[in-house]
Structure 1
Amino acid sequence: MKFNIFAVASGLFAPASALLRFGCSGLTVQRLDPLVNPGMNPSAHLHQIIGGNSFNASMPPETHDLAALSTCTSCQFTEDLSNYWTAVIFYRGKNGTFKRVPQMAQAGMEGTQGGMVVYYMTDALFDTAQKSTVTAFKPGFRMLVGDATYRDREQARKWRQLTYICMENQGTRAPETIGFPTKPCPGGIMANHRFPTCWDGKNLDSPNHQDHVAYPESGTFESGGPCPATHPVRLPQILLETVWDTRAFNDPADFANGKQPFVWSTGDQTGYSSHADYMFGWKDNSLQKAMDGHTYVSAPMLKTQSIAQQNKCKVPDMVGEDIDSWLTNLPGANPVV
């Protein structure tokens, strides 16, 4: 799908400077992936999804106005009816069975059921000025970061900033690793997904859901690196933080000799298959207004809802499989490799 860059030329490089940080409850956990496997039920592996309740097995590009299709969102800002999803982490027991690892709310968001914390920013997370210029995503925009098939460090070098944090407590934010932590994490494991920040200005999607976006040609988003000529439009940085509550699975014996007991629902035991999907669904131009708002975390121009209201927004189970018992196989029978 292509976007007419000339139709918005006057606003394409409008000043925008803000950082949004907000929580989203879990919308559903199902084996569905309308971006990579549209219409397939079930899809290849299990995902945890947040956002608007128009999420379905099939979300074709021609029905891209998620804000109009959804009646609620599991996110704090009611204008955000986008969908975001990642794979799911399982613990693999000594007898070879699997148990889904629950998600844990971050400090200040207690009571949130599952879900993630979402950031949209124009500059580095620690930069309270947020002075840079970005362009908000357009209706129909979709993208994917990471690759579910990757299993080694060299493959993962293609992606920047897909990381893990072995949390000592709720405030731990360093160090970050590329693969799964190899020691027990007293505060859980945080998985970080940072999306590319440069857009070609034309295509709302691409066949692999990646070629229409790019990383800065030099430096990083945090250092203000310039976008390549092929992808000249600077987008907000989207960061997803998911805290996996591994505290019940911290037996030191599971971490002997450099091993660790966790696997993604893809069957990946290395951590290098970490990936995330995004479908834009903000109402009207609410995201652009927020990014133009010169705000840091707070967003008075947006409407918020309570955590209890977020928790109520769900979609029905469309797959109908057991994902919560001790399982003899990962959902989809994905082999551990």
Structure 2
Amino acid sequence: MGRNTRKRRSPLATKIVAGAAALAVGGGGLVWANFYASAHEESPGHHRTRSAGAQVATIDCPDVGQRISGVPDRARGEVDGELATLDSQITEAYQRLATTRRAQEGDSRFVQNTILGPLKDRRQAIIDRIQLEINRAGGRADDNLDELAGCQGKPAEQPQNGGGQGDGGQDDGQNGGGQNGDGQEGDGQNQDDNGNGAAGPFADDFVDINDVEPNARGSENGLAADGDGGSTGSFTAQCGVNENDLFNSDNLIVAPGVDNGAHHTHDYVGNQDNNAFSSDEDLAGADTSCRNRGDRSTYYWPVLRLQDGTQEFDAGDLGGGAEGNVGKILKASEAEIRFVGSRQGDVVAMPKFLRIITGDAKAFTNGVANANSSFSCTGFEDRQVTDKYVLCPEGSQVVRTSNFQSCWDGQNIDSANHRDHVAFVREDGSCPDGFQAIPQLQVRLVYDVPAPTVENGQVRNPYAVDGFPEQLHKPITDHNDFINVMDENLMNKVVRCINRGKNCR
């Protein structure tokens, strides 16, 4: 299926991926031990499966990119490239963690001495370069970035608050050798690996939709328009469901100019020239899958896969099977892309080439502060859950929903951490001081997904979003990306429809 679009590989990108070992071991998977022995428990709202012993499962590194601000424009490209190098270093360290089980059994300091220690040194060198590049370009780098060099081991349990550093994951990256022994096969591969070497998801990552409390999510889901006040209209962009099979593992927003900057594969609708090397001029002159030819915006999100053993087109590629993203890519049967208004008044036009990311691809290690996308089932959409994949009853389909930030600082189309230039509304629907309301993008994706089987703490044939390998395919890492490339006439139409209370297409 599909194609993996590429223009060229930059020298920096070549350096980044050259050191990444082939993570695929036997059927494109990552070999890992059974660190996740489970004990079933009941909890209010839904059933949960809790780890009997919090075993180290992945590498948890502070997100340097989220701490950076005030990067001069002329240093932005270099800094983004260095941040991509940090991501690549974590991927390599995770691969090392996942393939050294026997060595870890025999040496309680193995992870610290051979993985986490060297990783800290490599990260420190990159952080030093980031600080130098910011200062050289006339900015003022945060002197405390050095504190972010060290990483630690983390168990497979979901974070329950914004801390992002779960208890039990420290222990120099070791906890009883990172080994449990229960349910382990002779080759050291977990019984529940689903072809990706136990890189997730796990049984604990799923919940029956009937066990999710209705209306449990409040204002944190980012809804801007709710009720009869303010600007009540909408505009729906009809852009298809990626019928053109446009896939790649780049991220033009976060890692421009870096091949495989996302370390996972994206679906694209709208703009058809979207990869790491696309300039704003490329986007403005590209073809579009949107019915309205004035909309060359790019709408993209991590693909959803069924881990059923299917060898996709990217089964051996970085970003795909070589980084634990395995199985059949599932296209959405519906992709509803809507722009809505503000509860407090009129909206203003988005600037061309405005970039917005909602959700956090690293929320499993960063913590839940920026987690925003949710899962539900058709017929049950009053029940939304952010930290679980849903099990839908027969005849119901899986729904992914993302509501984007709808307040803009009035000046910038992007920011150094790709978040500061936009914001969510406050509880009363108003924008923070200094921000103004723009049309809110809401993306609703519907999938016909065969229900996984969950028995005795094991899940078979699960579905999961693609992600950075160290994020263990956690549902809380779902996210969505947007670059506005509407022409002026269309954007003005969107604003008029919303402000006048009309529903337009």
Residue of structure 1 aligned with 2:328, choices 90, 100, 104: 100
Displacement of 1:245 in angstroms is 2.3
Q: Is residue 80 of structure 1 aligned with residue 80 of structure 2?
A: no
Secondary structure of 1:80 counterpart: coil
From the superposition, tell whether residues 297 and 258 of structure 1 become closer, same or farther in structure 2 (CA, over 3 Å). Answer: farther
Which stretch of the first structure deviates more once superposed, 272-281 or 47-56? 47-56
Matched AA of 1:37: A
Matched AA of 2:389: P
Displacement of 1:180 in angstroms is 2.9
Residue of structure 2 aligned with 1:238, choices 430, 441, 445: 441
RMSD: 3.0
Matched AA of 1:102: L
Displacement of 1:190 in angstroms is 1.1
State the distance in 2 between where 1:78 and 1:41 align: 28
Matched AA of 1:165: S
State the match for 1:21 in structure 2: 236
From the superposition, tell whether residues 78 and 31 of structure 1 become closer, same or farther in structure 2 (CA, over 3 Å). Answer: same
Q: Percent identity?
A: 21
Residue of structure 2 aligned with 1:164, choices 375, 380, 399: 375
Equivalent pairs, count: 254
CA-to-partner distance for each residue in 1:171-225, whole Å, 9 max, x for gaps? 5422111123342454331111111111111111101211101112x31xxxx52
State the distance in 1 between where 2:390 and 2:405 align: 28
Q: Is residue 120 of structure 1 aligned with residue 306 of structure 2?
A: no
Choose between structure 1 and 2: higher helix proportion.
2
Alignment of 1:167-206 (within 5 A): 167=378, 171-186=379-394, 187-206=396-415
State the distance in 1 between where 2:282 and 2:349 align: 15
State the match for 1:254 in structure 2: 454
Unaligned runs of 5+ in 2: 1-71, 74-229, 311-323
State the distance in 2 between where 1:269 and 1:55 align: 24
Matched AA of 1:164: F
State the match for 1:144 in structure 2: 357
Which one has the largest radius of gyration? 2
Displacement of 1:158 in angstroms is 3.1
State the distance in 2 between where 1:264 and 1:141 align: 25
Matched AA of 1:53: Q
Q: Is residue 279 of structure 1 aligned with residue 497 of structure 2?
A: no
Which stretch of the first structure deviates more once superposed, 84-93 or 193-202? 84-93
Maintained 8 Å contact 1:16/1:135: no
Maintained 8 Å contact 1:64/1:140: no
Secondary structure of 1:288 counterpart: helix
Maintained 8 Å contact 1:41/1:57: yes
Residue of structure 1 aligned with 2:473, choices 258, 262, 269: 269
From the superposition, tell whether residues 238 and 258 of structure 1 become closer, same or farther in structure 2 (CA, over 3 Å). Answer: farther
Q: Is residue 69 of structure 1 aligned with residue 285 of structure 2?
A: yes
**TM-score (structure 2 length as normaliser):** 0.46
Which stretch of the first structure deviates more once superposed, 34-43 or 79-88? 34-43
CA-to-partner distance for each residue in 1:66-92, whole Å, 9 max, x for gaps? 3x312x321232221100111112223
State the distance in 2 between where 1:23 and 1:90 align: 24
Secondary structure of 1:33 counterpart: coil
Maintained 8 Å contact 2:305/2:329: yes
Displacement of 1:17 in angstroms is 5.5
From the superposition, tell whether residues 234 and 92 of structure 1 become closer, same or farther in structure 2 (CA, over 3 Å). Answer: same
Maintained 8 Å contact 2:371/2:386: no
**Relative contact order (C-alpha < 8 Å, sep 6+): which is higher?**
1
Matched AA of 1:69: G
Residue of structure 2 aligned with 1:41, choices 234, 259, 267: 259
State the distance in 2 between where 1:255 and 1:242 align: 28
Unaligned runs of 5+ in 1: 3-14, 107-115, 125-130, 300-337
CA-to-partner distance for each residue in 1:1-23, whole Å, 9 max, x for gaps? 99xxxxxxxxxxxx965201233
From the superposition, tell whether residues 56 and 270 of structure 1 become closer, same or farther in structure 2 (CA, over 3 Å). Answer: closer
Maintained 8 Å contact 1:65/1:139: no
Q: Is residue 155 of structure 1 aligned with residue 370 of structure 2?
A: no
Secondary structure of 2:492 counterpart: helix
**TM-score (structure 1 length as normaliser):** 0.66
State the distance in 1 between where 2:487 and 2:288 align: 11
Secondary structure of 1:151 counterpart: helix
Secondary structure of 2:370 counterpart: coil
